[in-house]
Amino acid sequence: MASRWANDEADKVEELRRKKDKEEKKRLKLQKQQEAEAAALATQETESRPAKRRRLSTGEDDDQEVPKPNEPEADRKLIRFEAGTWSPCRHVSHFETLNQIEEGSYGWVSRARDTTTNQVVALKKVKMDYAQDGFPITALREIQILQRSHHPNIVSLQEILSGDDPQECVLVMEFLEHDLKTLQEDMSEPFMASEVKTLLRQLVQGVQYLHTNSIMHRDLKTSNILLNNRGQLKLADFGMARYTPPPNAPLTQLVVTLWYRSPELLLGTRDYSTEVDMWSVGCIFGELILKEPILSGKNEVDQLSLIFSLCGLPSEKTWPAFYRLPNARSLKLPRDPQHKTPGFNRARFPFLTASGIDLLSALLSLNPENRPSATDVLSHPYFGEQPKPKPAQMFPTFPSKAGQERRRKRSPNAPKRGDEVQGVKNVDFSSIFAAREEGEKGAGFMLKMA
């Protein structure tokens, strides 16, 4: 039974109105969503579109097609740099030992072949004489310096090998056919003047790189200078090398092989720098000319005697700091200002030009402050006069002895860790020029090159 208050017509009208309102709200909501999506899409297209650039015409490329802005850009190749990674060391079993080359103060050197690539390399097995004290500091310095040194005149360290013993450490370096000492012993005649200049220039270029990077080699000698059959010279054996310390930092005086050791080291100084390397360069320079060491002393006292006989006696004028050195007080030297002592003995090098004598005497200056730097040596007039340095490509080749023979003549080894400093005690150097005076008075003549 229907209610008497019911109005069916009015209810239908109201329900129809509500339905229309509901549909209108849905339509407006959908319209707002579509407008928001369209605005977002337009913003994205604007951001992704490349900025318009003003085309500058040079008159040459006017006929080239201009790329359309809507065309997709080609994928750009990223530049990737190879970075060092951590990886385990290879085992020594990957190398076949061909022959032993030599035993040095800090390791054994042998020639070997990589079984993977058939490349011939040089292996240096580090000596562990003081294993109880840990890994040798000399080997750590050598590895660190070789890893950071990249120069055509410095031997390259390729990798480090491990052995069956956890303490075994082997350095893999490039193999060069000769070292200067063995090569000169097998030569019938010394190097030509042009060849000496080529070798000396490459030697000084390697030393310049080290000194520029604050590295002292401290054991430059002909047996540590390698040469390949393409005329390229490289410095090797960095067992005594180290970075230059701050000023006035105490250093060990027992460095550099005796025949190439500077006078300030022989006299006990502990404050030195790259000048000790330049003295060694001068000794090597003279050895290349004469084909034999120029200062081959038997001990420290004999070495000082040979140095003073070649370079003259020090004085307050030529070397003011000489008498402040620890071992200088025990030397008996004339301190009379009126007493004149001979200077550099030029007669030892009769075939060296005046410019060459000037360079050699400067490198062998008793006063370290008077020795030229490596940069000064490279700009010396000696390299610009005739004959000019021979190109490395035209350097003569020699049979390699590194693979088959040991050295026949013995030479002093580099100082070892733990050795005692012999020192220089009371010695009288007042009569070391007697032989020179007798030789100058003798008969005969000598040709001098202009």
Mapped onto helix, strand or coil, the DSSP state of residue 169 is: strand
DSSP 115: T
Give the whole-angstrom CA distance, residue 51 versus residue 150: 45
Which residue type is seen at 270? R
Q: Tokens in use for 392?
A: 């490395």
At residue 157, what are phi and psi to the nearest 5 degrees?
A: -95, 120
User: The tokens 């020699």 sit on which residue?
Assistant: 398
If 0-12 CB within 10 Å is exposed, 13-18 middle and 19+ buried, where does residue 15 land?
A: exposed
Asked whether 380 and 359 are in contact (CB, 8 A), the reply is yes
- To the query of whether residue 219 is one of the catalytic residues in this protein, the response is yes
What are the beta bridge partners of residue 112? 97, 121
Please identify which of the residues 219, 271, 376, 419 carries the catalytic annotation: 219
Asked whether 305 and 429 are in contact (CB, 8 A), the reply is yes
Residues 6+ apart with CB under 8 A from 441: none
Q: Tokens in use for 205?
A: 């270029």
Dihedral Cα 344, 350, 354, 359, nearest 10 deg: -60
Number of C-beta neighbours around residue 367 at 10 A: 16
Residues 6+ apart with CB under 8 A from 234: 152, 153, 154, 155, 174, 176, 206, 225, 226, 227, 228
If 0-12 CB within 10 Å is exposed, 13-18 middle and 19+ buried, where does residue 229 land?
A: middle
Which residue type is seen at 162? S
At residue 108, what are phi and psi to the nearest 5 degrees?
A: -105, 130
Q: Tokens in use for 245?
A: 């310390």
Give the whole-angstrom CA distance, residue 199 versus residue 181: 13
Q: Tokens in use for 422?
A: 């012999």
Q: Tokens in use for 214?
A: 């604050």
Catalytic residues: 219
